[in-house]
Structure 1
Amino acid sequence: MTSTAFTPGEALSTALIALPGVYRPQADTLLLAEALTREDLGPRKEVLEIGTGTGALALHAADRGARVTAVDVAWPAIVTARLNALRRRVPLRVLHGDFAARTAGFRYDLVVANPPYVPAPSARLPSRGPERAWDAGPDGRGVIDRICARAPALLRPGGVLLMVHSGMCGAQETIDRLAAARLAAEVTARASVPWGPVLRSRRAWLEQQGLAAGTDEQEELVIIRAWYS
C-alpha cells in the first residue's frame, strides 16, 4: 500500500477544459490516476469510468489503448468530456445518465470511480448544481454503496474495480460491502490532503456527527481495489 501527501492544487498534468460546474481534476483524481497506471491495460481491455467529470481518468485509460466508456449524470460533464476527447483526438464513448441504467448488460475489465463522497446534512442527493459532484448524504456513501452493490454485474471474470473516497466514509465498510458482493477488496493507497472549502464550511456539523475532530485540518483519501477472488 502506498501513502502520499498532496497539495490542493495538484492535478493531472494534461490541460483539460471544464465547463462551469464541472468537477476539475484534484488530488483524488491524481491518486486514482496513479492507481490506474498500475493496472494492465491495452487495446483489448474494456474500461468504464463512473462519474467522468472532465473525462480526465477516461482519457488517461484511453491513452494507453483501452476502449473506454465514460458515464455521468450531469450534461455539462458530458459535453466537457466529449470536448476534451475531441481536443486530444482520443476515442471515447461518453454516455449521459445513471451509471447502473446506462451499463445494464455490459461488463468491463476495469471500472474506475471517483464518486461523490462528501458527507452532507441532507439525505437527499442533489439533482443539479456543482454540489452534485461531491455531496453524498449524511455518511457520504449515497453513491459508494450503489457502486459496491453493482460492481459484480459490471466486472468480467478477472475484472478490477478502482474507487477513491474519503476516509470519513469508512474504508472498511466499503471493503465489507464488496466482500458481501463476493469480491475481494483492499486499500491500496492512502493520501492526506488539506481540507477544502466544502469541508471547512461544514466543520461544526461534521464534528456533531463524529466525522471530524476540532483539530482536523487534513482529509484522508483512500483507493479501494476490488477484484473477483
Structure 2
Amino acid sequence: MTAGLTVDEALALARQLGIERGDAQTLVAHLTGQSRAWLITHGDTRVPGVEVALRRLADGEPLAHLTGWQPFHGLLLQVTAATLIPRPDTEALVDWALELLAALPDEPAVVDLGTGSGAIALAIKAACPRARVTAVDLSVEALAVARANGERLGLPVDWHHGSWFKPLAGRRFDLVVSNPPYIAGDDPHLPALRHEPITALTPGGDGLADLKALIDAAPQHLLPDGWLLLEHGWDQADAVAQHLAQRGFAEASLRRDLAGRARASGGRWQD
C-alpha cells in the first residue's frame, strides 16, 4: 500500500489547517515534482510525506524552506535555514540600484553587504551584466548558498567572507547596497520569524545599529559621487535620513515598497 495522502486529501487538509491555497498547491506540486496545473487532473495520486510537510507549514515553517527555493526579481534562488528568505519588498532596493547603474558608463563597481542567499547581488548582475559585482557575508553557510546560486545561474560575482567592509580594505565602489538586520530586538513579529537566522533579522536594541555602522563606514569605500542604498524598517526612514545627512551624504532620498511603506533610503557621497 502506497503511503501518503492523495493530492485531493492533502489540499483538503491544508484548508483545515488554514494554509493559503496557493501555498498548499506549491508545496504539494514540489513534493510530486509536478506543476500546480498537473494537480487538477491527478487528485487521486498519493504524495508521500505531504501530511508532515503541511503541518510544518501550518506551524510557521516558511514555504521557501520546505521547497528549498524562493523567486526574487525574476530569478529562482536556493535558500536554506542559514539564509534570510528574499522578500518582494527588497526588489524596490534592486530597482533603485539598477536605475543608478543605468546612468553610469563602462563597468560600474557594486558591492552587496550581508548578501545572504545572494539575492541582491545576483539580481543586479542579471539585469546589469556589465556591472562588476562583489558580495560579502559573515556567515560561511550563507555564502556557500549564495555562491552556489551564482554558479547555477551563470552569474559571476566576487564573493567574500567577512563582516561588512572588513574584507574590502582599500577598495572603492560606485554603489554600495545592503539589506542589513534592522528589526528592533523587542519587535513582536520576531517570534514568527524564528525559522530564519536571528542575526540576519535584528542587531538588537532599536534595530538601527548596523544601519548606522554602514553609513559611518561607507564613505571610505565609495568613489566620488558614489551611492549608498540601504533597506530598513517602515518606521526607520527619518532616523536613517538624519544619519545620512550627519555623515555628509547628499541627495538623501527614499523608495517605497509594494505596500507604499518607506523601505529603502540612500544618499550620494561627494568626496
Query: TM class, shorter-chain normalised?
Result: 0.7 to 0.9
Unaligned runs of 5+ in 2: 1-69, 188-195
Code of the aligned partner of 1:143: D
> Is 2:177 aligned against 1:112?
yes
Q: How far is 1:14 from its partner? A: 0.8
Tell me: CA distance 1:52–1:157, structure 2 relative to 1, closer, same or farther (3 Å).
Answer: same
CA-based RMSD: 2.3
Equivalent residue runs for 1:157-196 within 5 Å: 157-168=224-235, 170-191=236-257, 193=259
Equivalent residue number for residue 45 of structure 1: 108
Residues 28 and 164 in structure 1, CA contact (< 8 A), matched pair in contact too: no
Which residue does the alignment assign to 1:90?
155
Partner of 1:187, secondary structure, is: strand
Give the match's secondary structure for 1:102: helix
Q: 2:87 aligns with which of 17, 21, 26?
A: 26
Q: Per residue, is there more strand in 1 or in 2?
A: 1
Partner of 2:269 in structure 1? 228
Secondary structure, counterpart of 2:155 in structure 1: coil
Match of 2:96 in 1: 35
TM-aligned CA deviation for residue 77 of structure 1: 1.4
Q: Does 1:135 align with 2:202?
A: yes
For CA contacts below 8 A with separation 6 or more, give which structure has more relative contact order: 1
Residues 18 and 80 in structure 1, CA contact (< 8 A), matched pair in contact too: yes
Q: In structure 1, list runs of 5 or more residues that go unmatched.
A: 1-8, 123-128, 194-218
Contact 2:182 2:208 in 1 (8 A): yes
Match of 1:71?
A: 136
How far, CA to CA, are the matches of 1:149 and 1:40 in structure 2? 23
Task: Tell me the percent identity.
Answer: 30
- Superposition deviation, residue 185 in structure 1: 4.1
Instruction: Please tell me the residue identity of whatever aligns with 2:237.
Output: A
Structure 1 stretch displaced more, 53-62 or 38-47: 38-47
Measured after TM superposition, the shift of residue 11 of structure 1 is: 3.9
Counterpart Cα distance in 1 of 2:113 and 2:234: 20
Task: Give 1:43 shift.
Answer: 4.8
Q: Does 1:144 align with 2:185?
A: no
Q: When you count helix as a share of all residues, which structure comes out higher?
A: 2
- Using the size of structure 2 for normalisation, the TM-score is 0.64
Runs (4 or more) in structure 1 with deviation over 3 Å come to none
Residues 117 and 144 in structure 1, CA contact (< 8 A), matched pair in contact too = yes
- The answer as to whether partners of 2:93 and 2:255 remain within 8 angstroms in 1 is no
CA contact 2:256–2:263 (8 Å) conserved in 1: yes
Q: Secondary structure at the match of 1:166?
A: coil
Q: Which amino acid aligns with 2:109?
A: E
Q: Distance in 1 between matches of 2:158 and 2:229?
A: 19
Q: Distance in 1 between matches of 2:241 and 2:233?
A: 14
**Larger Rg, first or second structure (1 or 2):** 2
- TM-score when scaled to structure 1? 0.75
